[in-house]
Every structure is written in C-alpha cells, then in structure tokens.
C-alpha cells in the first residue's frame, strides 16, 4: 500500500471514530456528570498501599507481601522484588507462574484460574499500554525484566477503578520508584542450556544484530518500495498495463523490470552452523534523592541487556480421521533450529515531593525484545507422506523486533484543608511497534536413491520462496483521575470515591508478501544453495524464467482504532474493625473500528461491518469480615466484560508465532459478559499465613479458538462465540516456617520455610454447530483450562543471611491446546513438571553471587490427540551464574 493510500485510509478511519464519538456523546456526558459529583476515588494500587522495603530473608519478604495482600479490599496476590529475585526469575512472566491459580503459557502469557490470556489484562503502574504482539491484546510479560519491577499485583476480584475488560484477573506491574537513599547496582551473569551442546544455526544477518536492531539489510529496499508505489502490485501483467497496455513489447519490458526487482531482495541467507557463545546479561542502575528546601527531588535510572541463544528440537504432526484411527498427513519428526534473542530495557524516573501532601512522578520505560529464529524441518508433507523414497526439508528464517516506549506522569495530592480529600491522577502516552522484515520460507525436496544416496533440489514452483515484510504501529493515550473523601459516622469510617478515565488507541498494520518462481530452472540448477540458485546472473538470465510477484492478499493490511470513556463511583465502609464493605459501579462507553484493506489499499467490505459499539454498567461488591485479629473472611461479586481483540475481528490471515498455526479473524464476534463470585478465608500469624477460597464465573458468549474445516496438512484456526460457559473451583495457599514442628524459635528448623499453593477447578462451555467447522465436542472444557495447578517452594536462610537457597516446583494439569474437529478428539497439552533451584551467597554485605538451575527434571512440552503426539518441544536444562554489587 503506497503512502497516499495510507493517508487517505487513515483519514477515513479517523472520520469513522469521530462519528462514533459524536453518536455516544449523550452517554459519555452522563458518565462524566456522575463521576464529577463523586468526591473521591480509590487510588491506583501503587499509591493505595504503603510500600514496605524488605531486604534479606525471603521469608520476611513473603510475609511482607502477605501483609500487603491482607489490607487489600479485593482478593489479590502480590510478589515483591525480593521474592522474584530469590526465585531466580528473570522476567515478569516466569515470576507470575508461582502465584496461586496462575499458569504460564509459552513462557509469555498468564492464565488466571484456567482462563486464557484473553481473560487477563496487564497494567503498567496502573495504566493501560499497547501490546507489541499483533496476535494478542495483552502484553507478552516476558518483555518486562525483573530488574525494573518493584512488585507484581494480581487482582483476581474486580474493583470499579479497574478497566471493565476483566475476566480471570488483572496484572499490575509496578516499576521501581524513587529510592529512599542513594543506591547503585551493577550485575552481570552467564547462562547455558543443555541443548546448546550442538552448534547453532545462523546466517549472515546485520551489523547491529548484537543490539537487537536490523541495520536495514533485511528490510524492504528503496527500489522495491518505489516500484510498489509506482505499479501498485509487482507482476508482469500489472507492470505491462502500467507501461501502456498488454503488448509484446511492454510484456518484454515488464519481464525485465520484474527480474531486476529480484535483485532488490536480500538473498545472502544461506544457513550455516557455528559455535554457541554463553548467554550473557548485564544491568546497571543508579538512584538518589536531593533535599531542596522543604521539597525532595529524586531520580532513578537503569539499563539492562540480555543476549541468549537456544537451540530448538521439536516434533510436529497433523492427522486426519479414518474410521476410529488417525491417519498422518504431515510428519515432521526432525525439527532443528536456533533462536537468537536480544533484550534491551531502559528506565528513567523522576520524582518531586513538594511536601508530605503533594507528590509528582514521571516514568519513562523502553523495552526491546528481538528474536531471530532459524528452523530446518525434515519430514513428510501431504504430498510425500506415502512415498518412501521422498521427504521434504523446509527452512524458515523469522526475524522480529518488538519494542514499547511508555511515558507516564502521575501525581497524588492530599488536601487536609478541603475535608481531607485526596486526589491522584496519571497520564500515559505509549507506543508499541512490531517490525518483522525479510522473513523467508522455502522448501527442498529430497529423493533417496536405491544405493541410499540423497539428491536434494529446491522445489520447482511459482511460489518456491516466500518473502514477507511486516510492520505494526500501535499508539495509545491513557488518562485518569481519582478522588477520595473520608467521612466518619460513629463507629463507621466511610470513604466515598469516584473517578474518570479515557483510553485512545490507533493501530496501523501492514504486511507485504512476495514469491519467487523457479518454474524455468532445471533440477540441476535447483540443487545449489539459496544464494547460488538466486544469484544475480541467474535472476537476470531471461532463459531461467525467474519471476517475483507481489501476492499480498485481501486484508493483509488493516487500520484500527479504539476509544473508551469511563467513570465510576464507589464507597468503602469500615465498621469498628468488625467488617469492611466495598461497593461501586463503573460505566464504560466503548467504540472500536477495524478496517481491513485489500491488495490495492482500499477498504474491503462495508466499514459499518467493522464497527463495534457498546456501553454498560459494571458493578462490584466486596465484603470482608474480621472474625478475629488473625482471621478474616472475604466475599465478592462483580459483572465485567471481555471484548474481542482488534486482530480477532478483522478477517486477516496471519501466522500465530507461538503455535505456527495459520489464523484468520471473524468480524461477527461478540463480547463476553462475565459474572463472578468469590469467597475466601485468610489466616495471618507472625511467621505464617494460610488461605482457602472458592470461586465461580459465569460466561455469556465466551470467545473460543476453533479449527476450520478443509485445512488438511495445515491447521487453520479462527474464533467464534460459544453460547455459554462456566468456571468454578477452589484454591489454597500457605507459608510456614518449619520450626512449627519443635516449637523452638532458635531451632535449626527456623532457617527453613515452605510455601505453596494449590488450585482445583472445573470449566465447561456449550457451543452450537458452526458453519465451516465440524466440531467434535460441542460441550467441553475451555481452551487452555487446567483442572489442577500446584506450586511449592522450600526455602533456606542462614542465620547470618549469607547463604540463601530456594527449591521451587510448579505443575499444571493437562489443558486443551485446540478443539478437535472432523471426529478428532480435542488436543491436550500435557502436564509440565518444572523443578528449579537457586542458591545465593553473600560474601560481603554489598556483593552477591547466585547460581541457578532450571528444569532440573528435563521435561518436554507435549501436545497429544487420541494417544498420538502432535507436537513436542524439548526445553532442555538451563544453568546460570551471576554476580551483583549494590550499595
């Protein structure tokens, strides 16, 4: 799509959003009037709770987190910085899998109480931010390094100051704040994975790969971009028409132009093998505060860098049904590859505390996550699966840069002169980008001779090689204010609260696909390497018949926008420390448009079909009864919504990077209404705490991923609404020092503690028969739901606190990876038993050395269907050694 077309479409998209805004103004005005009449709002979580800085024992850190959770008015789980560090977790995702009821999927996304990532949301210091992953609405949590995290708050019960898009829970990532004193931290570490005993796959990349940035070598060349702007689509016929018509002379000239454009592609991509360097990570941070008269100014800055390489070993199969058995269509039992990854993050925070009543902070966070993956698959496709003397070798190179830049300013003001009203506010401007240039796929055929020799040649086909160039820009603005008015009526302490927030989002996603044709090549010429087959001489040789064509299809490009205006009112009442009641209601006016574009850059279909508008009221209630000083009981109720993602409602064909499945959106998706109930008992003692709870969620129109029919040899997934669904279960948690067994606080057992949690739950959805998808089970569990989740932790802290060790275990029950079709049963991801160990030694007060082992049991990730293996991914065992210095 050329620049003029993009500008025209962008204007149209904004006009559509303006029209939606105008249509909803009466509703919006009502919400603003309601919130303006409220005197106050519940502060954001990072301001609501007094921070407790804890260093030293993990037991103390876990206890402080439990104390903070105890004061939360709604059911929530917390992880502090010390807990994350002591468990050896390198990012937010790996840390959260230790929280009660949470499971980690693909090392990136969190499932809360068995509900998929679509049912969770992620906030950054209380603000909504965009995701650099175009296939999902939530941010991949592995992008957030542990070094910038102060704490993680997982709220499982809804409260009205949160966005109404709340299903299983909300994760609030609270970043490091202004220090209480001068601090300086430096650290570095080395890592190794057992899979890396073999050489890595690599190719000639760019000169800036070390910092996770393409130097332009992979990107679309200026010559190719100019040709797209000039001709619209690259093909011999199209260019001939642009030259003046379909004549023999114009066709010949167009053929020459097409061949010359073939030189504009990066073809220096022969796959090689080389030794693997150890993984490396390093971090540096500095913070300080300065007294300026009666005010205090603070600064916190930090950078981190992480470079890793991991070899890939996988298996992948796809089956059709014949009678009661499965018949293989694809068998890829030998998938090898390498993933090169670079993570870079930076943080710069400023704070100004005018006095104890006024505080303003700014926060700038930059995250970059770059992956460069090479995969070589040897096996059988649907064309060769029944031929004993032939097999395929598929090679793919996928390079992806994901970045996010967030700028936030927030403040808190206590007004004792105005009835003790307090106000907090924030404004966040963020941008996420995904840049995937020059991704390549091609296939070689292998023929086995009678003597066992193998003849190898590239497939002779019009689309023998596939190139893609993709880019997505996602920009958001998010602002909010909250106010709170405390009142006292006898023994009742009452707080009236209310607030307003808005969220605006604009996304521009484009992908260009190109094919290389090898129809005119001889088999002998196709037996060379990639760079030999597509050398300059071969491309320009007219006798070879080389062709490059632009095959960007309908809806590969799209523009989208969202606008949300919301207001809420609420009340908190604490009566004589006997009970606490929190209730409130949120109103949201939601507008969304997603405009698919065809290959010519025009809107595909009627724009009205791409519009989603809805508004509603979302109530919540939480009741806490203080049974004794150590025991409290909680009850909760809420009604919320889970809306379809931009990509899910756009008929765009894309490849899910986590599963390699092809996925297409569906414009007819409806939002899911969620009604939730919670009950929980919590015991808190000096050296231990326990909790046990039950929950129930009723889902109306839950969104499920399904497999479409007629996709033999390749999984083609899409999304549809089921009629109804439900999730219910129980969860328990404990933290206990082991000296409970002898009652002596000075016993050696007091150096040990155990912590853990267990979740049991059931889920069920009812889905009607769907056109184009012959679902096997119309009543089944939710996708991604695990009946059981277990976390266990054994910790040791020496008396002098120089030696600390933690052994952690995590396992989830089997869960549906995707629903079965055409009489095939549902495919289940099998339980993964994760056992990790971390040991830390502090020889001097400011110095620490840490050793870690991951996946000690050497488990693999497996997906099974009717007893047959569909996918296997070997995780390998990881080892790390790090050094840090801080004062």
Q: Please choose, from the candidates 114, 470, 143, 543, the residue with its C-alpha nearest in 3D space to the C-alpha of residue 306.
A: 143
pLDDT digit string, tens, across residues 436-479: 998 999 999 999 988 888 999 999 988 899 999 999 999 999 99
- Strand ranges for 701-751 from DSSP E: 703-707, 716-721, 724-737
Structure tokens given for 267: 């073809």
What does the alpha-carbon distance between residue 749 and residue 755 come to, in Å, rounded to a whole number? Answer: 14
In a domain, 74, yes or no: no
The Cα-based distances of 372 to 102, 342, 464 in angstroms read: 29, 9, 22
Residue range 552-561: mean pLDDT, rounded: 74
What does the alpha-carbon distance between residue 40 and residue 584 come to, in Å, rounded to a whole number? Answer: 12
Look at the chain and report how many structural domains it folds into.
Answer: 1
pLDDT of residue 15: 45
Residue range 60-80: mean pLDDT, rounded: 68
Give 774's pLDDT tier (boundaries 50, 70, 90): confident
Q: Are 519 and 545 in contact (CB under 8 A)?
A: yes
In a domain, 372, yes or no: yes
In a domain, 104, yes or no: no
- Locus of tokens 């609270």: 174
Give 85's pLDDT tier (boundaries 50, 70, 90): low
Residue range 322-340: mean pLDDT, rounded: 87
Residue range 585-594: mean pLDDT, rounded: 93
Q: Are 159 and 110 in contact (CB under 8 A)?
A: no
pLDDT at 577 over 90: no
Helix/strand/coil for 428: strand
In a domain, 478, yes or no: yes
Task: Return the percentage of the chain with pLDDT > 70, whole number.
Answer: 84
pLDDT of residue 435: 93
What does the alpha-carbon distance between residue 874 and residue 861 come to, in Å, rounded to a whole number? Answer: 6
Q: Are 491 and 535 in contact (CB under 8 A)?
A: no
pLDDT of residue 384: 85
Dihedral of CA atoms 133, 119, 589, 127 in degrees, nearest 10, equals -60
DSSP-assigned states of every residue in 871-882? EEEE---EEEEE
Residue range 156-182: mean pLDDT, rounded: 84
Helix/strand/coil for 437: strand
pLDDT digit string, tens, across residues 387-411: 888 999 999 999 999 999 999 999 9
Bridge partner residues of 509 (DSSP): 472, 558
Residue range 51-78: mean pLDDT, rounded: 58
pLDDT of residue 789: 87
Structure tokens given for 390: 């032939």
In a domain, 680, yes or no: yes
pLDDT of residue 355: 87
pLDDT of residue 41: 36
Q: Please choose, from the candidates 411, 381, 409, the residue with its C-alpha nearest in 3D space to the C-alpha of residue 394.
A: 381
Q: Please choose, from the candidates 859, 862, 865, the residue with its C-alpha nearest in 3D space to the C-alpha of residue 878.
A: 859
What does the alpha-carbon distance between residue 841 and residue 791 come to, in Å, rounded to a whole number? Answer: 25
pLDDT at 97 over 90: no
pLDDT at 28 over 50: no
Strands 120-124 and 109-112 come out as unpaired
* Highest mean pLDDT, choosing among 31-40, 120-129, 306-315, 592-601: 306-315
Residue range 484-509: mean pLDDT, rounded: 94
Other CB atoms within 10 Å distance of the CB of residue 23: 11
Kindly provide the b/e burial profile for residues 540-552, where b requires at least 16 CB atoms within 10 angstroms of the residue's own CB.
eeeebebbbbbbb
pLDDT of residue 36: 38
- Residue 535 CA to its chain's centroid (Å): 40
Give 620's pLDDT tier (boundaries 50, 70, 90): very high
What does the alpha-carbon distance between residue 81 and residue 51 come to, in Å, rounded to a whole number? Answer: 12
- Strand ranges for 449-464 from DSSP E: 454-458
What does the alpha-carbon distance between residue 305 and residue 757 come to, in Å, rounded to a whole number? Answer: 33
What does the alpha-carbon distance between residue 92 and residue 338 come to, in Å, rounded to a whole number? Answer: 24
What does the alpha-carbon distance between residue 9 and residue 780 come to, in Å, rounded to a whole number? Answer: 42
What does the alpha-carbon distance between residue 783 and residue 827 come to, in Å, rounded to a whole number? Answer: 10
pLDDT at 122 over 60: yes
- Locus of tokens 């009660």: 100
* Highest mean pLDDT, choosing among 28-37, 250-259, 374-383, 838-847: 374-383
What does the alpha-carbon distance between residue 112 and residue 268 come to, in Å, rounded to a whole number? Answer: 45
Q: Are 259 and 227 in contact (CB under 8 A)?
A: no
pLDDT digit string, tens, across residues 631-671: 999 999 999 998 888 778 877 777 776 666 778 878 888 99
> What's the CATH code of the domain at 791?
2.40.170.20
pLDDT at 784 over 90: no
Which of 21-25, 303-307, 691-695 bottoms out in mean pLDDT, i.e. has the lowest? 21-25
* Highest mean pLDDT, choosing among 21-25, 251-255, 769-773: 251-255
Give 780's pLDDT tier (boundaries 50, 70, 90): very high
pLDDT of residue 6: 43
pLDDT at 412 over 70: yes
Q: Are 682 and 635 in contact (CB under 8 A)?
A: no
Full domain range(s) for residue 367: 190-212+269-517+553-886
Q: Please choose, from the candidates 402, 428, 414, 432, the residue with its C-alpha nearest in 3D space to the C-alpha of residue 501.
A: 428
Residue range 96-104: mean pLDDT, rounded: 65
pLDDT at 817 over 50: yes
Give 238's pLDDT tier (boundaries 50, 70, 90): confident
Q: Is 299 exposed, middle or buried (0-12, 13-18, 19+ CB in 10 A)?
A: middle
What does the alpha-carbon distance between residue 595 and residue 718 come to, in Å, rounded to a whole number? Answer: 18
pLDDT at 27 over 60: no
Give 35's pLDDT tier (boundaries 50, 70, 90): very low
DSSP-assigned states of every residue in 402-415? EEEEEEEEEEEEEE
Phi-psi region of 613 (alpha: psi -120 to 50; beta: other; left: phi over 0): beta
Residue range 776-800: mean pLDDT, rounded: 88
Helix/strand/coil for 629: coil
**Higher-pLDDT residue of 383, 345:** 345
pLDDT of residue 263: 93
Strands 662-664 and 716-721 come out as parallel
In a domain, 13, yes or no: no
pLDDT of residue 559: 87
pLDDT at 24 over 50: no
Give 46's pLDDT tier (boundaries 50, 70, 90): very low
**Higher-pLDDT residue of 769, 564:** 564
Which of 140-144, 666-670, 687-691 bottoms out in mean pLDDT, i.e. has the lowest? 140-144
pLDDT of residue 864: 93
pLDDT digit string, tens, across residues 285-325: 888 989 888 899 999 888 989 999 999 999 998 888 877 77
Task: 322-331: list long-range contacts, CB under 8 Å, 24+ apart.
Answer: 326/824, 326/865, 326/866, 326/868, 328/380, 328/385, 329/381, 329/382, 329/385, 329/712, 329/713, 330/379, 330/380, 330/381, 330/382, 330/385, 330/713, 330/714, 331/379, 331/380, 331/385
pLDDT at 414 over 90: yes
- Locus of tokens 């998808």: 773
The Cα-based distances of 569 to 36, 393, 625, 812 in angstroms read: 9, 61, 23, 39
* Highest mean pLDDT, choosing among 170-179, 217-226, 315-324, 562-571: 562-571
Dihedral of CA atoms 797, 799, 802, 808 in degrees, nearest 10, equals -10
Give 72's pLDDT tier (boundaries 50, 70, 90): confident
Q: Is 4 exposed, middle or buried (0-12, 13-18, 19+ CB in 10 A)?
A: exposed
Give 107's pLDDT tier (boundaries 50, 70, 90): low
Q: Are 758 and 691 in contact (CB under 8 A)?
A: no
**Higher-pLDDT residue of 555, 553:** 553
pLDDT at 520 over 60: yes
Bridge partner residues of 486 (DSSP): 495
Helix/strand/coil for 64: helix
What does the alpha-carbon distance between residue 665 and residue 646 come to, in Å, rounded to a whole number? Answer: 9
In a domain, 20, yes or no: no
Other CB atoms within 10 Å distance of the CB of residue 270: 13
Kindly provide the b/e burial profile for residues 830-841, where b requires at least 16 CB atoms within 10 angstroms of the residue's own CB.
bbbebbbebbbe
pLDDT at 751 over 70: yes
DSSP-assigned states of every residue in 746-773? TSGGGGEEEEEEEEEEEEEEE---BTTB
Give 327's pLDDT tier (boundaries 50, 70, 90): confident
Structure tokens given for 655: 């490849």
**Higher-pLDDT residue of 95, 561:** 561
Give 51's pLDDT tier (boundaries 50, 70, 90): very low
pLDDT of residue 617: 96
pLDDT digit string, tens, across residues 373-390: 999 999 988 888 888 889
pLDDT of residue 187: 87
pLDDT of residue 9: 40
What does the alpha-carbon distance between residue 638 and residue 622 come to, in Å, rounded to a whole number? Answer: 9
In a domain, 156, yes or no: no
């Amino acid at each position: 799509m050329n620049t003029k077309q993009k500008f025209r479409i962008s204007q149209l998209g904004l006009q559509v959003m303006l029209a939606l805004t105008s249509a909803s103004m009466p509703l919006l005005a009502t919400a603003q009037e309601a919130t303006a009449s409220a005197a106050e709002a519940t502060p954001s979580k990072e301001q609501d709770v007094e921070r407790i800085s804890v260093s030293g024992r993990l037991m103390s850190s876990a206890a402080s987190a439990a104390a903070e959770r105890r004061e939360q008015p709604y059911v929530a789980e917390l992880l502090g910085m010390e807990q994350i560090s002591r468990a050896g977790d390198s990012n937010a995702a790996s840390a959260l899998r230790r929280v009660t009821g949470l499971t980690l999927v693909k090392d990136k996304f969190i499932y809360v109480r068995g509900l998929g990532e679509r049912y969770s949301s992620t906030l950054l210091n209380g603000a909504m931010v965009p995701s650099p992953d175009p296939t999902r609405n939530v941010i991949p949590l592995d992008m957030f390094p542990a070094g910038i995290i102060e704490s993680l708050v997982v709220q499982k019960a809804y409260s009205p100051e949160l966005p109404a898009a709340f299903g299983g829970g909300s994760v609030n990532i609270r970043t490091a704040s202004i220090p209480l004193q001068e601090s300086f931290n430096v650290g570095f570490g080395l890592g190794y994975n057992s899979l890396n005993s073999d050489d890595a796959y690599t190719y000639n990349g760019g000169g800036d790969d070390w910092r996770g940035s393409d130097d332009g070598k992979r990107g679309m060349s200026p010559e190719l971009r100019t040709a797209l702007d000039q001709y619209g689509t690259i093909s011999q016929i199209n260019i001939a028409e642009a030259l003046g018509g379909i004549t023999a002379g114009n066709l010949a000239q167009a053929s020459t132009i097409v061949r010359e454009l073939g030189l504009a592609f990066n073809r220096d991509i022969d796959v090689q093998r080389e030794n693997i360097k150890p993984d490396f990570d390093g971090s540096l941070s500095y913070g300080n505060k300065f007294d300026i008269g009666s005010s205090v100014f603070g600064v916190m800055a930090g950078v981190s860098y992480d470079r890793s390489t991991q070899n890939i070993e996988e298996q992948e199969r796809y089956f059709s049904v014949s009678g009661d058995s499965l018949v293989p269509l694809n068998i890829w039992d030998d998938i090898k590859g390498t993933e090169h990854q670079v993570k870079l993050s930076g943080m710069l925070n400023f704070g100004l505390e005018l006095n104890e009543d006024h505080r303003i902070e700014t926060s700038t966070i930059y995250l970059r996550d770059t992956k460069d993956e090479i995969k070589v698959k040897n096996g059988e496709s649907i064309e060769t699966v029944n031929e004993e003397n032939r097999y395929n070798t598929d090679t793919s190179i996928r390079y992806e840069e994901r970045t996010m830049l967030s700028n936030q300013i927030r403040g808190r003001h206590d007004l004792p002169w105005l009835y003790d009203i307090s106000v907090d506010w924030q404004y966040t401007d963020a941008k996420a980008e995904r840049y995937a240039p020059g991704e390549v796929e091609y296939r070689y055929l292998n023929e086995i001779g009678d003597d066992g020799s193998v003849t190898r040649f590239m497939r002779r086909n019009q689309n023998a090689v596939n190139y893609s160039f993709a880019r997505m820009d996602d920009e958001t603005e998010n602002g909010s204010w909250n106010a709170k008015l405390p009142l006292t009526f006898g023994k009742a302490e009452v707080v009236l609260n209310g607030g307003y927030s808005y969220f605006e989002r604009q996304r521009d996603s484009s992908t260009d696909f190109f094919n290389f044709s090898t129809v005119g090549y001889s088999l002998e010429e196709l037996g060379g390497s990639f760079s030999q087959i597509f050398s300059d001489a071969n491309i320009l040789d007219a006798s070879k018949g080389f062709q490059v064509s632009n095959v960007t299809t309908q809806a590969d490009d799209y523009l989208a926008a969202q606008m949300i205006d919301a207001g809420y009112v609420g009340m908190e009442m604490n009566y004589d420390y006997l009970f606490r009641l929190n209730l409130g209601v949120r109103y949201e006016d939601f507008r969304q448009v997603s405009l698919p574009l065809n290959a010519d850059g025009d809107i595909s279909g009627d724009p009205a079909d791409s519009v989603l508008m809805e508004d509603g009221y979302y109530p919540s209630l939480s009741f806490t009864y203080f049974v004794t000083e150590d025991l409290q009981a909680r009850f909760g109720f809420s009604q919320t919504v889970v809306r379809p993602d931009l990509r899910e409602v756009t008929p765009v064909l894309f490849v899910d990077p986590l599963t390699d499945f092809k996925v297409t959106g569906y414009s007819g998706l409806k939002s899911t209404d969620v009604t939730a109930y919670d009950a929980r008992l919590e015991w808190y003692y000096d050296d231990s705490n326990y909790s046990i709870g039950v929950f129930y969620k009723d889902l109306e129109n839950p969104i499920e991923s399904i497999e479409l029919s007629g996709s033999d040899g390749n999984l083609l997934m899409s999304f549809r609404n089921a009629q109804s669904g439900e999730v219910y279960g129980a969860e328990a948690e404990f933290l206990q020092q082991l000296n409970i067994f002898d009652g002596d606080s000075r016993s050696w057992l007091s150096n040990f503690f155990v912590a853990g949690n267990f979740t049991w739950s059931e889920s069920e959805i009812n889905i009607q028969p769907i056109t184009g998808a012959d679902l096997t089970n119309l009543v089944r569990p939710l996708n991604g739901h695990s009946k059981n989740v277990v976390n266990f932790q054994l910790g040791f802290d020496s008396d002098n606190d120089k030696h600390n060790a933690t052994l952690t275990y995590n396992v989830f029950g089997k869960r549906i990876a995707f629903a079965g079709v055409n009489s095939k049963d549902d495919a289940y991801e099998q339980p993964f038993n994760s056992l990790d160990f971390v040991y830390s030694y502090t020889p001097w007060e400011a110095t620490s050395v840490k050793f870690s082992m991951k996946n000690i049991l050497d488990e693999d990730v497996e997906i099974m269907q009717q007893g047959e293996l569909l996918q296997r991914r070997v995780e390998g065992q990881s080892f790390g050694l790090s050094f840090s210095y801080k004062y």
